[in-house]
Amino acid sequence: MGILENKARARLFYKYLSRVYDQVNPFIWTEEMRTEALELLEFPDDATVLDVGCGTGFATEGLLECVDEVYAIDQSEHQLEQAYAKFGRTDGPVHFHRGDAERLPFATNTFDIVWSSGSIEYWPDPVRTLREFRRVLKPGGQVLVVGPNTPDNPVTRRLADAIMLFYDEYEADRMFKTAGFEDVKHLFQGPSYDPDIAITTIGRAPE
């Protein structure tokens, strides 16, 4: 397990990263990548959408191009403060919650779509968290998770794994299917300098 697959260490990490997150993030997770990921989803009329690990709200902003309101949750108060500044804390189109992806504060069968980008790499138990996503999804609802693809170089891979979770499409397939999702598919994404840096996985909750 990587050093940042620990909730306390991840919160401390984002206490400092949040100050420059919006300046650094576009070099790794671009608007083009976000748009491409959004196009993988089907948004029903009046869709209820949850953004898990919303951070400063980059993905939330994209989701709001497709729906009128978004529920968003993150464990980092420092990241959320940045998001509040963009959308408003209580009176905007985003319903914010501070909390844990493993224990979502929402009722079963609540959402049409659960989205999570840049969060899975910090989860101590990804399958448990994905099962929690399935719990809050309506039957037939969609899940989309963006995470870091395993580096090809063995030395880089060992270093990456010591920091956080990296995985390939085969491991993603195993995790999502073990968590009970169906129609699991994967898309590699990245900026021009590294087009396979991220792996985006979509699936459906059983009907």
Q: Tell me the three state secondary structure of residue 69.
A: coil
Q: Is 37 helix (H, G, I), strand (E, B) or coil?
A: helix
What beta strand segments (E) does 86-191 contain?
A: 94-98, 111-117, 137-148, 182-189
Query: pLDDT of 107-152, one tens digit each?
Result: 999 999 999 999 999 999 999 999 999 999 999 999 999 999 988 7
pLDDT of the residue at 4: 67
The C-alpha atoms of residue 133 and residue 71 are separated, in whole angstroms, by 13
Q: pLDDT at residue 196 above 80?
A: yes
**Residue 143, CA atoms < 13 Å, CB-side half-sphere:** 32
Neighbours of 61 (CB within 10 A): 18
Tell me the two tokens of residue 39: 């196009």
The pLDDT of residue 18 is 75
The pLDDT value given to residue 160: 59
Which tops the pLDDT comparison, 23 or 182? 182
Domain chopping of the chain, boundaries: 7-204
33 three-state secondary structure: helix
Helix, strand, or coil here: 92? coil
pLDDT of residue 161 exceeding 80: no
Q: What is the pLDDT of residue 154?
A: 73
**More confident site: 161 or 11:** 11
Quick: pLDDT tens for 45-67. 999 999 999 999 999 999 999 99
Q: Class of 7-204 per CATH?
A: alpha beta
**Range 75-86 average pLDDT:** 95
**CA distance to 23, 25, 33, 152, 200, per residue, from 168 (Å):** 27, 22, 18, 10, 10
- What per-residue confidence (pLDDT) applies to 184? 98
Whole-number percent of the chain with pLDDT over 90: 75
Q: What percent of the residues of the chain are helix, what percent strand, and what percent coil, each to the nearest 5?
A: 35, 25, 40
> Which residues, including other chains, have CB under 8 Å from residue 142's CB and lie 6 or more apart?
41, 42, 112, 113, 114, 202, 203, 204, 205
Q: What is the mean pLDDT of residues 146-168?
A: 81
pLDDT at residue 162 greater than cutoff 80: no
How far apart, in whole angstroms, are the C-alpha atoms of residue 16 and residue 18? 5
Quote the pLDDT of residue 91.
Answer: 87
